[in-house]
Structure 1
Amino acid sequence: MRRPWSDVAIKECGEPLQSLRGTFLCLEPHPYAKLGAPYGDQGDPFRLRASVIARLVRAQNQLIQHPDPEVGPLQLLVLDAWRPVSVQAFMIEHAIEEECGRRGLNPSKPQWQTALDEVKREVSRFWAPPSEDRSMPPPHSTGAAIDLTLADQRGAALNMGGAFDAIGSESLPDHHASAAKANPNSPEALWHQRRCSLHAAMKQAGFVRHPNEWWHFSHGDQLWAWTVAESIAVYGRVDGDACAAASSSATRSSPSRFT
C-alpha cells in the first residue's frame, strides 16, 4: 500500500546513527530480535540519527515535568528504533501469520484466500511495505522513526490501553477518546490521558505521530515532512553504520533548519 507521504522528496543529510543506550530505557530483549528477525551484522536496532536523539532528550525532559496521576514521574521506554528493510519484511510476514492465527485462518488453504487478503490489507495499515526503492523507504529504515511508550521511574511499562504492534482499532491514537469523554473516571480515560501525554511531549520536541499508531513518532522523514507541509525530508534509508549516499536527489542538505 503506497502511503500519501511516499512522494515527498528526500535530500539525505548524511547524519550518522547514534546509540540510544545509556540515555534512554530500552526494551530488552529487543522484541523483534527475540523473534529471530534477520539483523545479521547490521548493528544495534536501538539507534537513531543524532539530531533526532537530541529531540528525544527534550521529550524526556518534558515528561519529567508532568507526572502520571497514578504512578508519578515518567520516562520514555524505547520499543524499537532503526530497522533494516530485511527486518521490515520479516516482521510483516510475522504479523500476517499472527493475525491469521488470531482469526483461525489457514493461509495455505485456497478457500481462505479472501480472508487472507483482508488480513494483509489490515496489516498494511500498520506496517509500511519493505520497499527497496530509496525514494520511498520504510520510516524505521531512515533512523528517524521510533516506537516508544511510557514507563514509571522503576522502568515498568504503563498500561496504554492497547498493546504495541496490535493490529486493530485499539492502536489508533484516539481509540479511547469517546469512552474517556463519557466517563472521566474510567480506565479508558486514564489510557487516553497517557496517550495524550506521550503525544504532547513528543510533539513539543518536534515529532509527528503516525496516524494509525499511538506508539510511532518521527522527525525528518517523509511522514514528518508530509504532516508538517515541508517540501523535503532530510533522512532517507540508512544501512547499518553508513548513511545512504542519496535517495531521490543527489543534493546534500543540512538538517539544521529542522532542529
Structure 2
Amino acid sequence: MTSQHVVPPGERTAEAAVPWLATTSGADHREIVLLSDPRVGRIPVAESGEPLVELDETFGAARAPVRAGLARRLRSAQEDLLAEGLRLEVVEGHRHPAEQQRIIDRYSGEVLAEHPGVGLRELEVLTSRFVSPIAVAPHVAGAAVDLTLADADGPLDMGTAIDATPEMSGGRCYFGAPDIEPEARALRGILARALGVAGLVNYPTEWWHWSYGDRYWALVTGARSALYGPVVS
C-alpha cells in the first residue's frame, strides 16, 4: 500500500481532517503519522472531566458511549447529513483498556504470522495501523468512534467492511486507497466533509475511525494538549 497523507496542523475543516480529498490522484505521498509515533505520546493531556454519554438510537443500535463534547459534534454532523437523506451509523465508541489489549494481542499475532522475525518496535508500528497502543488510544479515552454512512435502507458500501485489516482489505481500509469504487470514494468524501466540519479528524489507515479531543486529534490540529485521557469504566 502506497503511503497516503499526514494530516498537517491547521484549521478543523474537512480538508484538514482528510487533506487527500483534494488530491485523490495519489501524486502526493506524504507519510502517514501512526498512533505509535512518539510525537503522539508526547502530547500532554489537560483532562476536561467531560463524562461519557450514550449516543441515542438515531446513531444506530450500538448506543455507543462517547465523551459529551464528541457527542455534540456527532449530532451536528448528523443534522447536516440528514438533510442529504443520510445518517451516521456508529458501531463503537469508548472501549475498556482490557478490550483494547485483547485487540492488540490478536492483531499483533496476525502481523507476526505475516512478518515472521519482525522486531518489537516494528511490530508495534505495524500493529498500530489497525489498533492503537493503550496509552494513546482514542477509543480508551472515549474520544473516538467507528462509524459508517447509512440511508433509509441501512449501511452503505464504503469500499470495505468496518474493521477490515490492511491485510484483509489489501490496503483498501486506508481512507485514501486509490483502488476503491468511485461510489465508495464519493461516500468517503461526504463522510469526511460532515465530520471534518464538525471538528473530528480521521485516522488515515481506517476510513471508519474518527476522533475528537484525543492526543492524535491534538497533533493533527495543532492543539496544545489533548482534552481527554483514558477512561476506565
TM-score range, shorter chain: 0.7 to 0.9
Q: Does 1:74 align with 2:86?
A: yes
Q: Which residue of 1 aligns with 2:198?
A: 205
The Cα shift of 1:161 comes to: 0.7
The Cα shift of 1:120 comes to: 6.1
Q: Which residue of 2 aligns with 1:149?
A: 148
Match of 1:189 among 179, 182, 185: 182
Match of 2:44 among 9, 17, 30: 9
Report if aligned partners of 1:63, 1:74 keep a CA contact under 8 Å in 2. Answer: yes
State the AA in 1 paired with 2:140: S
* Runs (5+) with no aligned partner, structure 1: 28-44, 67-72, 132-136, 180-186, 241-259
1:46-72 deviations in whole A, cap 9, x for unaligned? Answer: 101112101100111111223xxxxxx
| Aligned pairs for 1:232-251 within 5 A | 232-240=225-233
Q: Which residue of 2 aligns with 1:223?
A: 216
Q: Which residue of 1 aligns with 2:103?
A: 91
Report if aligned partners of 2:60, 2:91 keep a CA contact under 8 Å in 1. Answer: no
Q: Report which of the two structures shows the higher radius of gyration computed on alpha carbons.
A: 1
Q: Does 1:48 align with 2:48?
A: no
Report if aligned partners of 1:75, 1:152 keep a CA contact under 8 Å in 2. Answer: yes
Q: Does 1:22 align with 2:57?
A: yes
Report if aligned partners of 1:225, 1:232 keep a CA contact under 8 Å in 2. Answer: yes
1:29-56 deviations in whole A, cap 9, x for unaligned? Answer: xxxxxxxxxxxxxxxx810111210110
In the alignment, the residues of structure 2 paired with residue 94 and residue 160 of structure 1 have an alpha-carbon distance, to the nearest angstrom, of 25
User: Following superposition, which runs of at least 4 residues in structure 1 exceed 4 angstroms of deviation?
Assistant: 97-100, 115-121
- Counterparts in 2 of 1:119 and 1:2: CA distance versus 1, 3 Å: closer
In the alignment, the residues of structure 2 paired with residue 51 and residue 12 of structure 1 have an alpha-carbon distance, to the nearest angstrom, of 12
Report if aligned partners of 2:111, 2:126 keep a CA contact under 8 Å in 1. Answer: no
The Cα shift of 1:15 comes to: 0.7
1:160-206 deviations in whole A, cap 9, x for unaligned? Answer: 11122222121111103xx5xxxxxxx71101001111111101111
1:75-129 deviations in whole A, cap 9, x for unaligned? Answer: 11112110111111101222244567xxxx4x9xxxx732697776533222111
Residue 93 of structure 1 aligns to a residue whose secondary structure is: helix
Q: Which residue of 2 aligns with 1:171?
A: 173
In the alignment, the residues of structure 2 paired with residue 212 and residue 18 of structure 1 have an alpha-carbon distance, to the nearest angstrom, of 27
Match of 1:158 among 153, 156, 159: 156
Q: Which residue of 2 aligns with 1:114?
A: 117
Q: Which residue of 2 aligns with 1:65?
A: 83
Over the matched positions of the two proteins, sequence identity in percent amounts to 34
- Counterparts in 2 of 1:96 and 1:190: CA distance versus 1, 3 Å: same
Q: Which residue of 2 aligns with 1:128?
A: 132
In the alignment, the residues of structure 2 paired with residue 203 and residue 19 of structure 1 have an alpha-carbon distance, to the nearest angstrom, of 22
TM-score by length of 1: 0.67
State the AA in 1 paired with 2:116: Q
In the alignment, the residues of structure 1 paired with residue 101 and residue 79 of structure 2 have an alpha-carbon distance, to the nearest angstrom, of 34
In the alignment, the residues of structure 1 paired with residue 101 and residue 87 of structure 2 have an alpha-carbon distance, to the nearest angstrom, of 30
In the alignment, the residues of structure 2 paired with residue 97 and residue 26 of structure 1 have an alpha-carbon distance, to the nearest angstrom, of 31
